[in-house]
Structure 1
Amino acid sequence: MHTLPATAAELAAWLRLSLAPGLKPAALRLLLTAFGLPEAILRQEHEALAAVAGDAAARAALAPTGPDFDAHLDAVVAWRELPGNQVVTLDDPAYPPALLTMPDPPPLLYIKGRLDLLHTRAVALVGSRGATPQGVEDAERFARAFSAAGVTVVSGLALGIDGAAHSGGLAGIGSTVAVIGTGADLVYPAAHHALARQIAVQGAILSEWPLGTPARAANFPQRNRLIAGLVSGVLVVEAAMRSGSLITARLANEMGRDVFALPGSIHAPLSRGCHRMIKQGARLVETPEEVLEELGFANATALAAARVRREQAVTREFYAGSATSATSAARRIEPREPAEAATATRPSPFKAASDADAQRLLAALGYAPTTLEILATRTEMDHTVLHTTLLQLELAGEISALPGGRYARASPG
């Protein structure tokens, strides 16, 4: 074990084995256990390697390098010399200890940013790329709470829930780690270039893929195993029934990590994956404190006090909302002029499917009770248009007004 970055010769041997077609990380680990460093493996005879890891692994390890190997090695060395960039090998003390508990840890890790974050308490927060506004808000809120407690938030830099998780993680002392499915010199999706730059400065970006590796669908399940391997627990915020987040949760469960899921409406498509996980044993959670407490990352007394404060706030909001509702009801039963009454009883001409404003508002509403202020922020509608659209949706039976000035989708009849 060495404490300095690998020399050029050592890095060349590591890179050769990491790039060898057909040599899987689990087989390479067997060879490293038996023979030591890659340079020692490359000096062995085929028979000696085959006796340890099988004939196919021996052939792959001893195969000659391709014509582009030297150029690739030069590129890795040059990338490593850039500020903030590091290449960590499996034998390096800086290698994330959590990944060493995996059966197939990657031989090389390409890291941009803070290496120390890979040695901290961490929670993964993942979910749908096409997240609802409520899901995005929940993901950022949970991530902020985790990071504020000094816990690193790990996610995959995808659109939707992942992006919100990273943004929330950046807001606290725990910061965030993005595990990506491309080479560390690329950013995918392109919309997250600015976010990736911020993470590279305040957090860390991690990849096991060779530099220049583009986004390929087959890479992302493998990326998900690293997300699961780095953390003590995985929280899924929103997920459809066929979601990559469910793969992450399954891998985490297989590695002995805790799995949590945020419940949602039974009518919301992106709640079905979470509900399925809960049926299969994932823990249903409603607050960040529950996750932190379950993982032993927080002081139980402080959590209890926080819960009491939250419950008191909910009680105050409920009674304030009840008073508001009573005042509104009193206004509704005041006598109307005959013309106004006739207008009020006329059937509404509203058609939900053909009204762009209504569809926009429904999308912003999602499947959870939401306040007027939040709807105004999400839709950026003019105040009058927002109120008119809410009234149309309520008259059409699409939404219901709730105590506390909140709105929710109406349950199907």
Structure 2
Amino acid sequence: MSELSLTACHVGFSLIPGIGRVRLSLLENHFGDLATAWRAEASELAKSGIDSGTLKAISYWRPRIDPERELEKAAKSGVKVLTLADKVYPSRLKEIYDYPPVLYVKGNLLSEDELSIAVVGTRKPTVYGRQVTEELVTELSRNRITIASGLARGIDTIAHQTALKNGGRTIAVMGCGVNVIYPAENAALAKQILENGALISECAIDAGPRPENFPRRNRILSGLTLGTLVTEAGNGSGALITADYALEQDREVFAVPGSILSPQSTGTNRLIQQGAKLVRNAADIMEELNVRAVAGQLEFKEVLPENDTEKQLLKYLGVEPVHIDEVCRASGLPTPLVSSTLAMMELKGMVKQLGGMNYALARQIKETLS
């Protein structure tokens, strides 16, 4: 058996089912290094304290695994393979009990990513959930806080997209290999993330999505960051698993309150009831983490109504979405005029179009007019 690099040995053992941080530690402590452990006979492996089931797995899988070939595949795909010995392995992730022994990274992790927040939530957000996620991530990104999420549908997708839209960095922690984009509809988003962030996973680079991978990837998401923000989540949401991991890892947990009548807010409201920090704006998060705001007061070239039509329409808009038909009825103005005026107001950052021709007052305008 040829001599393998320590990284290759980490990769080899990580590809054997049932071997994680704890069993790797047993092997390293007994043999002194994983290269010796990889070459060891079954009788020697048994002396390390490894259980019989894992011994059988090693005996079966080791002859079928070519770790160096896995490293070559990773290199050809532009994927970095990190172990704890690598300087660029995220320092905060080293602190958690069940850290991933091998981390595959596509894109770039930077030192500034140490200042990061996980943003998670339901896969089926309401208009409210989308709005608060966009507003909070916008503020955090403009304050140079990296946004980490799971590339899933719903809140995860909104968090990644909003961070990129505002020139921020974002990291996707995946429950499959970094060469396998799941869901497939986020392929374009994943490509954008690579330009200003990274895709990371503990799964082999070509591993497909498996149900058991996603709860485990959540411990990486929470462990990688200073805290976890849940913007909207029902009782059964996987986002709550991330929050639980954050608490276990002594990380902060933040939650956005929602209507007690909304099923999508039962999880976030319960988190607050259990002691999570209630979040109204990004300042609440930064204050709790003792992070200084670096963006300063946002400046807008035009935040006040320019004409009587804009002034009139602002009277019928608030933070809750209002359909354009309702605005037309309330204002008595013709639909074409309302539509064109709202479009211009949106371009100036005065209002937001929240989908389905529903509009809401931008927070900045509301504060300016109050």
Q: Distance in 2 between matches of 1:50 and 1:99?
A: 30
Specify which of 24, 33, 43 is matched with residue 37 of structure 1. 33
Larger Rg: 1
Q: Once the 2 structures are TM-superposed, how far is the Cα of residue 279 of structure 1 from its aligned partner?
A: 0.9
2:175/2:214 contact within 8 Å kept:
yes
Specify which of 172, 178, 182 is matched with residue 184 of structure 1. 178
Long gaps (5+) in structure 2: 328-333, 340-359, 364-370
Mapping 1:99-248, distance limit 5 Å = 99-116=93-110, 120-172=114-166, 174-248=168-242
Higher helix share: 1
SS of the equivalent of 1:259 reads strand
Counterpart of 2:65 in structure 1 is 69
2:120/2:231 contact within 8 Å kept:
yes
Matched, 1:369 2:320: yes
TM-score, normalised to structure 2, is 0.76
- 1:235-285 CA distances to partner (integer Å, 9 max, x unpaired)? 001101111000000110011000010011122111111011111111111
Structure 1 residues 231 and 60: CA distance shift in structure 2, 3 A: farther
2:26/2:50 contact within 8 Å kept:
no
Q: Distance in 2 between matches of 1:57 and 1:102?
A: 26
Q: Once the 2 structures are TM-superposed, how far is the Cα of residue 154 of structure 1 from its aligned partner?
A: 0.5
1:46/1:58 contact within 8 Å kept:
no
TM-score, normalised to structure 1, is 0.69
SS of the equivalent of 1:235 reads strand
Counterpart of 2:348 in structure 1 is none
1:124/1:233 contact within 8 Å kept:
yes
Matched, 1:265 2:259: yes
SS of the equivalent of 1:252 reads helix
Q: Distance in 2 between matches of 1:375 and 1:383?
A: 10
Q: Distance in 1 between matches of 2:156 and 2:61?
A: 37
Q: Once the 2 structures are TM-superposed, how far is the Cα of residue 134 of structure 1 from its aligned partner?
A: 2.4
Q: Distance in 2 between matches of 1:219 and 1:24?
A: 13
Specify which of 281, 287, 291 is matched with residue 285 of structure 2. 291
2:103/2:201 contact within 8 Å kept:
yes
Specify which of 18, 24, 27 is matched with residue 23 of structure 2. 27
SS of the equivalent of 1:42 reads helix
Counterpart of 1:255 in structure 2 is 249
Q: Once the 2 structures are TM-superposed, how far is the Cα of residue 115 of structure 1 from its aligned partner?
A: 2.2
Counterpart of 1:14 in structure 2 is 10
Long gaps (5+) in structure 1: 1-6, 329-364, 377-381, 388-402, 407-413
Equivalenced residues, count: 331
Q: Once the 2 structures are TM-superposed, how far is the Cα of residue 53 of structure 1 from its aligned partner?
A: 4.1
SS of the equivalent of 2:61 reads coil
1:111/1:184 contact within 8 Å kept:
yes
Q: Distance in 1 between matches of 2:110 and 2:42?
A: 39
